[in-house]
Amino acid sequence: MISSAPTRSRKAQIDRTATALFRTRGYAATSMRELATALGLEAGSLYSHIKSKEEILHRVCFGLAADFFLAFDQAISDSSIPVAIQLRQALEAHVRVLTRDGAASAVFLHEWRHLSEPGRAEFLVLRDRYEAGFRTLITQGVTEGQLHTPDAAFATLTLLASLNWLPSWYRPEGKLGPDEIAHRLAEQLLGGLLKS
């Protein structure tokens, strides 16, 4: 039996290279020819590995969405923990996913608009569901007297917007690692929600 490992490895290399190009040039401005050149391939041979550049965008966006959901679910898995702590863990988990691959995170946050239907609609459903998880936590925290905010939806969008600019400045070689950044951001952002 022939191993499919080289095929998977080549596809991963294509994804990494394309994601880096999408981040620096933008999805729309990146051509298949540029991608082939960056990979050292003929444009025609690139199509033996992928059907289109949108296939890569789809994989990046939906792969990262799955990572965010998994991290969120793990963060809130222990319902015996106070909801304010669950929210802190969810925020920290979000940061860890964002910092795992800066290029993929930037593409996920900014280039999803180039997904064609039905992928775009499916992505928006996932985004809304993810935001709803944070809204539910905040609402529960307010109900239980652990958090305070007049508007859980506004608080959710504020928290996520504050975290989602991280790929624009985070550098893996910087003096703060992902865990320290996650802790500091959660501490800063929760300060306005925690009931004294």
- What size, in residues, is the chain? 196
Which DSSP string corresponds to 72-113? HHHHT--TTS-HHHHHHHHHHHHHHHHHH-HHHHHHHHHTGG
Mean pLDDT, the chain, integer: 93
More confident residue, 58 or 42: 58
What pLDDT is recorded for position 45? 86
Whether 27 maps to a domain, the answer reads no
Nearest-angstrom CA–CA distance, 41 and 44: 8
Whether 72 maps to a domain, the answer reads yes
What pLDDT is recorded for position 192? 80
What pLDDT is recorded for position 3? 46
Whether 110 maps to a domain, the answer reads yes
Domain that holds residue 127: 53-190
Q: Which of 8-12, 130-134, 136-140 has the lowest mean pLDDT?
A: 8-12
What pLDDT is recorded for position 44? 83
Whether 9 maps to a domain, the answer reads no
- Res. 9: pLDDT tops 90: no
- Please report, as a single letter, which amino acid is at residue 9: S
CB atoms within 10 A of CB 131: 15
- Res. 90: pLDDT tops 90: yes
Which DSSP string corresponds to 164-193? HTGGGT--TTSSS-HHHHHHHHHHHHHTTT
Nearest-angstrom CA–CA distance, 121 and 156: 21
CB atoms within 10 A of CB 28: 11
Nearest-angstrom CA–CA distance, 107 and 60: 8
Region 99-124 average pLDDT: 97
- Res. 140: pLDDT tops 50: yes
Q: 6 falls in which pLDDT band (50, 70, 90)?
A: low
**In which residue are the tokens 């905040």 written?**
138
The H or E element that residue 15 is part of is: helix 5-25
Q: Are 48 and 11 in contact (CB under 8 A)?
A: no
What pLDDT is recorded for position 109? 97
Q: State what percent of residues in the chain have pLDDT above 90.
A: 86
- Res. 178: pLDDT tops 80: yes
What pLDDT is recorded for position 7? 60
Q: Are 147 and 93 in contact (CB under 8 A)?
A: no
Whether 15 maps to a domain, the answer reads no
Whether 162 maps to a domain, the answer reads yes
Region 15-20 average pLDDT: 96
Whether 103 maps to a domain, the answer reads yes
- Res. 131: pLDDT tops 70: yes
Whether 184 maps to a domain, the answer reads yes
CATH number at residue 160: 1.10.357.10
Count: domains in the chain: 1
